Structure 1
Amino acid sequence: MEERILSLSPGAWDDYELIDTGGFEKLERFGDFTLSRPEPQAIWDKSLPESEWKRQAHAHFAKEKNNPEKGSWQQLKKMPHNWQISYRNQSGLELKLNLAQTSFKHIGLFPEQAVNWDYLYESIQSFPGEKPKVLNLFAYTGAASVAAKAAGADVTHLDSVKQVVTWSRHNMEASGLDGIRWIVDDALKFIKREARRGNIYQGIILDPPAYGRGPDGEKWILEEQINEMLKICSEILDPVNNFLLLNMYSLSFSSLIAVNLVQSNFKNIKNAEHGELFLEDSFGKKLPLGVFYRFRSF
């Protein structure tokens, strides 16, 4: 098994740039617009002075005092509430992604996941036999789903929030694609039903949050339920031709936890990789943004 630390290659993405990090914040450019947002892992000092952050930023996310996950955007320069950026890689993957300012500091995109979009695209294009059935759980706004569809997979996209599933559909359509199957459901309930039905997928993507709610208020706590989820995923993953991609963002998790979780629940693992995802700002500071484990049988 190979341990890796994965990041975008410098200059690989014209429409994205991590400009600076520090002071529990990050300064990022998405297309023509630059945003400053909270970042709990950026515990070091900023490289640029505060005045330069304010000069560059079109908007700043200010947290609520009693809830660090919620807040509001302060508009510093004129910019649209919704806008669009492009992603292209050297293998021919092209995505159009719709962004928007939300009350949870997110904008509909996690840029560090681009290395996993590349992995999915390449894996599906080189998949042996017929096009694979791919299940994307906790799929959010669907960049991974669209990347998988662009590579030729039969994609099922699941999230518990109807609005982000609609957002995903817009990303698919903007990218000139169609045919993704959309599911609004609780991820754990859904895969339990799939296991009972005997449905099998050749690829599974999991990017679960630390905490979440299903459409009917079902509680999701990563530490308490991820082991059960992977156990059931092992029942619905094709035992011969397969791939799995697990990503977790939790301040307390190392990639060794992902290794133990996957290896205790799956058999005959091949071509496995695990490690950290990060983005490097323009001053060379590396911002950790989650751990991953991925394998494929071919």
Structure 2
Amino acid sequence: MPQSIFILTNGNIQLLTPQYWEDYELIDCGDFEKLERFGNIVLIRPEPQAVWPKGLPEVEWVRRHDIRFKGRSATSGDWIKKKPQLPDRWHIEYSNPIITIKLRLGLTSFKHVGVFPEQAVNWDYISETIKSFNTAQPKVLNLFAYTGGASLVARAAGADVTHVDSIKQVVTWANENQELSRLSGIRWVVEDALKFVKRELKRGNRYHGIILDPPAYGHGPKGEKWKLEDHIAEMMRDVVQLLDPREHFLMLNTYSLGFSSVIVENLIKSAMPNVQNLETGELFLQATAGSKLPLGVFGKFSKHEKRGK
């Protein structure tokens, strides 16, 4: 299990890795691949960030893995199983001191399995912040919400959650995860995230928490185009207007090779010049074999209503 590592560099830029994962382990990474355990299944998948040599010999990778992804193109490939009885779908669990969720994993044609393990760091922040609020049932909006890990965490911590993603199949997957986690009440929305935000502004709705994990590229259900560097500034200008002025948090996570935590800091400060408690940094997974695998940058901030108000 990766151990919790917290490093401060340049004053307030943080390097964070998950603390509580029992059902996930990054065993090794290098030569553009990663060897990782999800529950009792060990996978080999491509990893463009792992430009260094592997820590373990190739014979160990071959011995330890159950299933390996082989790409046919830049966007698709096949899973090669050592044994035909190995499952295409299985379940894992994530727990921290506040919440427990369960997730259904699956072998997709584009190398994903339905969870990004480094996001557990953000899940801890989300659950801790929701529990610290005075608001009895904070309203939380999860944009680009994928299979719903952050939505489940927010709901399990007591929030009223709206989950927005443009792909119907992954929203259905997220609903499966809700049922698996024995939760209910999440509002599911299949829509372009930017369009939804603009409509919420017109409606005058407000949220105590907003979570954003935008892709580098994407499409809405009606063909709307999303390109991170072209649209993220507009998105940030809009979403900060949806925040409850008394008590709120915002979490922005990006996985794009061209983005740094300084860019995220500038985006947030441009959208909200008087932001309080801003933290920025980088997420990574600590391999058991020794390497650190960088997996995105984040910016987050919160405001708490004074007790008794």
User: Normalising by the residue count of structure 1, what TM-score does the alignment of the two structures yield?
Assistant: 0.96
For 1:234 and 1:47, the matched residues in 2 are separated by 43
1:33 aligns with 2:33: no
Cα drift, residue 54 of structure 1: 1.6
Among 245, 258, 269, the alignment partner of 2:275 is: 269
Alpha-carbon distance, 1:202 to partner: 1.1
1:182 lines up with 2:192 in the alignment = no
What SS does the corresponding residue of 2:49 show, helix, strand or coil?
Answer: coil
Report the counterpart of residue 129 of structure 1 in structure 2: 135
Contact 2:137 2:158 in 1 (8 A): yes
CA distance in 2, matches of 1:294, 1:218: 27
Structure 2 unmatched runs, 5+: 1-10, 305-309
How big is each residue's C-alpha offset from its partner over 1:115-171, in whole Å with a ceiling of 9 and x where there is no partner?
111111010011122321100000000010000000000000000011110111111
Distance 1:255 1:149 in 2: 28
Task: Name the CA distance, whole Å, in 2 between partners of 1:207 and 1:136.
Answer: 8
* Structure 1: distance between partners of 2:135 and 2:38: 38
Tell whether 2:60 aligns with 1:47: no
Aligned to 2:17: 7
Tell me which residue corresponds to 2:224: 218
Q: Identify the range of structure 1 (42-51 vs 251-260) with the bigger mean alpha-carbon deviation.
A: 42-51
Q: Secondary structure at the match of 1:173?
A: helix
What is the CA-CA distance between 1:2 and the residue it aligns to? Answer: 2.7
Alignment-derived partner of residue 88 in structure 2? 81
Trace 1:38-187 onto structure 2 (pairs within 5 A): 38-64=46-72, 67-77=73-83, 78-89=85-96, 91-187=97-193
Question: In 2, distance between residues paired with 1:94 and 1:149?
Answer: 11
Structure 2: distance between partners of 1:13 and 1:202:
27
1:206 aligns with one of 212, 228, 232: 212
Output the CA distance in 2 between the equivalents of 1:70 and 1:211: 16
Supply the distance in 1 between the matched residues of 2:237 and 2:29 (Cα, whole angstroms). 37
Between the aligned partners of 1:132 and 1:15, the Cα distance in structure 2 is: 29
| 1:239, distance to aligned residue in structure 2 (A) | 1.9
Q: Whole-Å Cα distance in 1 between the matches of residues 300 and 107 of structure 2?
A: 31
Partner of 2:7: none
Displacement, 1:287? 0.3
CA distance in 2, matches of 1:49, 1:283: 11
**How much does 1:229 deviate?**
0.5
Q: Return the alpha-carbon distance in structure 2 between the equivalents of residues 244 and 228 of structure 1.
A: 16
How far apart are 1:73 and its partner, in Å? 1.0
Amino acid of the structure 2 residue aligned with 1:254: S
Separation in 2 of the partners of 1:47 and 1:276?
22
Deviation at 1:219, TM superposition (A): 0.8
**How many angstroms apart in 2 are the aligned matches of 1:46 and 1:76?**
21
TM-score, structure 2 as length reference: 0.93
State yes or no: 1:284 paired with 2:290. yes
- 5+ long unaligned stretches in structure 1: none
Tell me, yes or no, if structure 1 residue 17 matches structure 2 residue 46: no
The alignment of Structure 1 onto Structure 2 pairs a total of residues equal to 293
RMSD: 1.1
Q: Matches of 2:110 and 2:98 in 1, distance apart?
A: 32
The range that moved more, 131-140 or 45-54, is: 45-54
1:213-258 CA-partner distances (Å, limit 9, x unpaired): 1111111100000000011102211122110000000011110000
> How many Å apart are 1:266 and its aligned residue?
1.3
